[in-house]
Amino acid sequence: MHKGRLEAFSDGVLAIIITIMVLELRAPPEADIAALRPLLPVFLSYILSFVYVGIYWNNHHHMLQAADRITGRVLWANLHLLFWLSLFPFVTAWMGENHFQAAPTALYGGVLLMAALAYYILQATIIACHGRDSILARAIGRDLKGKLSPMLYLTAIGCAFIHVAVAQVLYTAVALIWLVPDRRIERVLAERAAPREP
Amino acid sequence: MHKGRLEAFSDGVLAIIITIMVLELRAPPEADIAALRPLLPVFLSYILSFVYVGIYWNNHHHMLQAADRITGRVLWANLHLLFWLSLFPFVTAWMGENHFQAAPTALYGGVLLMAALAYYILQATIIACHGRDSILARAIGRDLKGKLSPMLYLTAIGCAFIHVAVAQVLYTAVALIWLVPDRRIERVLAERAAPREP
Amino acid sequence: MHKGRLEAFSDGVLAIIITIMVLELRAPPEADIAALRPLLPVFLSYILSFVYVGIYWNNHHHMLQAADRITGRVLWANLHLLFWLSLFPFVTAWMGENHFQAAPTALYGGVLLMAALAYYILQATIIACHGRDSILARAIGRDLKGKLSPMLYLTAIGCAFIHVAVAQVLYTAVALIWLVPDRRIERVLAERAAPREP
Amino acid sequence: MHKGRLEAFSDGVLAIIITIMVLELRAPPEADIAALRPLLPVFLSYILSFVYVGIYWNNHHHMLQAADRITGRVLWANLHLLFWLSLFPFVTAWMGENHFQAAPTALYGGVLLMAALAYYILQATIIACHGRDSILARAIGRDLKGKLSPMLYLTAIGCAFIHVAVAQVLYTAVALIWLVPDRRIERVLAERAAPREP
C-alpha cells in the first residue's frame, strides 16, 4: 500500500486545523488599535498552537519519510492522532478567550498529552511493521524527547490549578524543545544514502 | 485517465468534512470544567462522525487502490458519495445539539444510509468498467458488510422513534463492524503481488 | 513547469468551496422534522451549487489532462476562475436564505456567467500556448455547450426580475446539459492512445 | 528530503486561506441589490487579499520549482511564511468591515510587511543550502521587486494615519508590480533546459 495518500490526507487535515484556528481571531467592530488588546490572549494561544501543529507536521513528515510500508493498522493509528489534533482549535479558543485561566489551560495540556500519546502509538505501529532494525527504529533511538514531553504535559496540567503561568511556561518549553527539527532521522537517512566508509 | 486527481480531490473534501465538524464544538464563555458538560453530546456525536468519515476514507482508499481505470461515470459516482458525506457536519451538529432526540437521530441514520448507497453505487460503477473477474470484484466477494449496513441503518431509523438509544447503539455497532480494515482487498492485492504457487 | 501543483491547488480550493457551502445549513435549535422545512430552499440551492462546482471540477480535470504546458499566464487565468468560483458560497447562501427571490437569483446567475467567462478565458489561454492543432483545440471543437451556457445565464438573469422560476429552471437546465461528462476530450485522448487505422 | 509534501501542505494552507476569506462576505437578510452596498468595502478588500495570496502562491510555486533540496530549516522558514499569510483573513475582515479606516489599513500593511520579510527569509534559506551559483540565486538576481515592496509597505503604513487612500493605492500598486509572473526564474530554468550555445 502506498503512503502517498496517507500523507496527502494528513497534510489536508493539518492544513485545515492550522488555518481554522485563525477564525477565532474575530475582527472587532471598532477601528482603533486599542480594540485589538482583548484579542491578545487569543493571538498568543493561536501562536502556541500554530507552532505545535507545525511541529507535528514536521515530525510526521520525517517519520513517514523513513517508513516504507503502510498497513490498515497504521491508517487507524494515524486517524487517531488526527482526532486529537483536530481538538486543537477548540482548546486554543477556550484557553485564549478565557485569558489562560486554570481549567482551559489544563484541558489544553490534556489534548497535548493525548496527541503525544497518539503520536507515540503511531510511531510504535510503524516500527512494529518495519522491525527493530529498521531505519526508523534506529533513528528514534531512545526517544528522549518523546518520553520527556508527556511528563512535562502532566506536570503542567497539575500546575495549572496551582499557578497557571507555570503551565504556560512548560507548554512553551516543550514547543521549543521540539522546534529543533528531528535531525536524528535526517542523519540516519543520510547515512543510508551515503554509507560511511570504513 | 489518472486516478490521482480523483483521490486528491476526495481526500481534500474528506479532510475538510472531518475538520469542519469540530467547529460545532464552540468554546463556552465560562472557564470552568462544568461549562463543558453541555458540550458532551456534541462531542460524542463528533467522535461517532469522525470514525465514520475515517471508515469512508479508509475504504475509499482501499477501493481505489484496486482500481486501474477511471471514467466520467466514476467521477460522478464519487461526487455523489461526497455529497452525502458533506451533510455529515449538519446532521452531526443537529443530533449533538439536541441531545440525541428522535428526529435528529433518524435523520443522521438517513444520511448514513444514503452515503452507504452512494458508496455501493460507486463500487458497482468501478467494477462495471473493470469486469467481474477484476481484483476489486474478487476482493469484494459477497460483500456481507456492505449489504448488512443499510439494513442496520434502516432498523435504527425505525427504532429512533420508539427507543432512541437503540438507534445510537446500532450506529456504533456498524462503525465497529467497519473499524476492522478491509483486509479482503489487501489480501487479494497481496496475492497479485506474490501469486500463490501451485 | 509542471501542472501537478496547479491541479493540486485548484483541487484544494474547489474542495473547500464545495464543503464550505454546507456551513450555511445551520442546525435548527428544535429537534423535530418540521424545523427542517425553512432550510429546504437553502438545501436546494446547496444541491444546485454542489452540482455546478462538481461540473467545474470535472471539466477542469479533463481540460488539464489534455494540457502539456503551463505558463505564468495560465496560472493567473486559473486563479481568475477560482476567484469567481469562490463567490459561490456567498451567492448560494443569499439565494437560499431569501427563498429564491429576484435579486439574489439574478446575482447567482451573474456569478455563474463570470465563472463561465473565466473558464472560457482559461481554455483560450491554454489553447494559445498549445496551438490550434493541439489535442485540446481539436477536442473542444466548436464548443457549442461553452457558447450556449453564457447566453442561457444572461436570459436567466433577465427572467429573474420578471418570473423568477424561469431563471431557476434555466440554471438547472444548464447544469443538466453539462452533467454529461465532456466525452469530446476523452474521445480525442483515446484516439491519440490508439490512432484510428486507415 | 522530497519537496512534494512541503508544496502539498503549503498549497493546502494557501487554498484554505484564500477560501476562508470569503466567509467574511455574509449574505444579508434582505433580498434587494441595495443590501449589497454595505458589503462593497468587504468585497474590495477580499479582492485585494485574493490577489496577494495568488501572488504568494505563484511566486512560492516558482521558487520551489528551482529548489532541489529541502532541509529542516527550510520547513520552518516556510511555516513562518504561512503563519503571516494565515493572518490575512483577519486583517482583510477588519479593514473591510471598518471601511478602510486608518488603524485597520495600517495593520493590513503590517501583515503584508511581515509576510514579505518571511518570504525573503525563506528565499535566503533556500539559497543558503543551494549555493550562490545555484539557479535560484541567479534567477533572483538583484531582487529589485523583493527589496522595493517592504519599503512601499512601510510608506503605506505611515501614510495610513495621514491620508488613508494613499496607503490603499500603494497596496494596489505593489500587487500590480507582482502580478507580472516572475519571468526571471522561468527564463533561467529555460536556459538550463536548453543551454545557450556559444
Q: Cβ–Cβ of B179/A76 closer than 8 Å?
A: yes
D-chain residue closest to C9, CA distance = D11
Q: Cβ–Cβ of B179/A9 closer than 8 Å?
A: no
Q: What is the DSSP letter of D142?
A: T
- Count of Cβ atoms closer than 10 Å to residue D106 Cβ: 20
Residue C145 — pLDDT band, cuts 50, 70, 90?
Answer: confident
The dihedral built from the CA positions of residue A58, B13, B140 and A83, taken in this order, carries a sign that is: positive
Among candidates B124, B59, B116, which has minimal Cα distance to B88?
B116
Q: Cβ–Cβ of A76/B58 closer than 8 Å?
A: yes
What residue spans of B21-71 are helical by DSSP H? Answer: 40-65
- Would you state the pLDDT for residue C195? 44
Distance CA D109, CA D120 (A): 16
Q: Cβ–Cβ of C20/D25 closer than 8 Å?
A: no
C65 interaction partners in chain B (CB closer than 8 Å): 1-2
A22 touches chain D (CB under 8 A): yes
Residue D120's contacts (CB-CB under 8 Å, 6 or more residues apart) are: D146, D150
Helix (H, G, I), strand (E, B) or coil at B132: coil
Distance CA B71, CA B11 (A): 19
Rg of chain B's alpha carbons, rounded to an integer?
Answer: 19
- Would you state the pLDDT for residue C196? 42
Distance CA B59, CA B185 (A): 10
- Would you state the pLDDT for residue D180? 66
Distance CA A99, CA D174 (A): 38
* CA C103 and chain centroid, separation: 21
Most confident of A165-174, B137-146, D66-75: A165-174
- In Å, how far is D46's CA from the nearest CA of chain A? 14
Identify the residue whose cell numbers are 520549482.
D65
CB pairs under 8 A between A and B: 86
* Mean pLDDT value across residues C59-78: 87
In DSSP notation, B60-119 reads HHHHHHT-----HHHHHHHHHHHHHHHTHHHHHHHHHHTTT-HHHHHHHHHHHHHHHHHH
Q: At what angle do helices A40-65 and A4-20 cross, to 10 degrees?
A: 170
D183 touches chain C (CB under 8 A): yes
- Would you state the pLDDT for residue B177? 86
- Would you state the pLDDT for residue C187? 65
Helix (H, G, I), strand (E, B) or coil at B181: coil
Distance CA C78, CA C123 (A): 9
- Would you state the pLDDT for residue A181? 55
- In Å, how far is C160's CA from the nearest CA of chain D? 12
Give the total residue count for chain D: 198
Helix (H, G, I), strand (E, B) or coil at A35: helix
Among candidates C19, A188, D143, A153, which has minimal Cα distance to B79?
C19
B54 interaction partners in chain A (CB closer than 8 Å): 76, 79
Distance CA B122, CA B70 (A): 11
A97 interaction partners in chain B (CB closer than 8 Å): 27, 29
Residues 75-104 of A with CB under 8 A from B: 75-76, 79, 82-83, 86-87, 89-90, 93-94, 97-98, 101-104
Q: Cβ–Cβ of A90/B22 closer than 8 Å?
A: yes
D-chain residue closest to C84, CA distance = D47
Q: Judge whether C157 and C106 are in contact, CB under 8 Å.
A: yes
- In Å, how far is B39's CA from the nearest CA of chain A? 11
Burial of residue B19 (CB within 10 Å: 0-12, 13-18, 19+) is buried
Q: Cβ–Cβ of B79/C15 closer than 8 Å?
A: no
Most confident of B185-194, C75-84, C179-188, D65-74: C75-84
For residue A31, report the phi and psi dihedrals to the nearest 5 degrees.
-110, 25
- Would you state the pLDDT for residue C129? 84
Cite the beta strand spans of chain D per DSSP E.
Answer: none
- In Å, how far is D33's CA from the nearest CA of chain C? 6
pLDDT under 70: residue ranges of chain B? 1, 180-198
Most confident of B141-145, C58-62, D168-172: D168-172
* Mean pLDDT value across residues A88-96: 95
- Would you state the pLDDT for residue B191? 62
- The shortest CB-CB distance from A11 to any of D5, D20, D104 is to D5
Q: Which chains touch A (3 or more CB pairs under 8 A)?
A: B, D
Q: What is the 3-state secondary structure (H, E, C) of A127-138?
A: HHCCCCCCHHHH
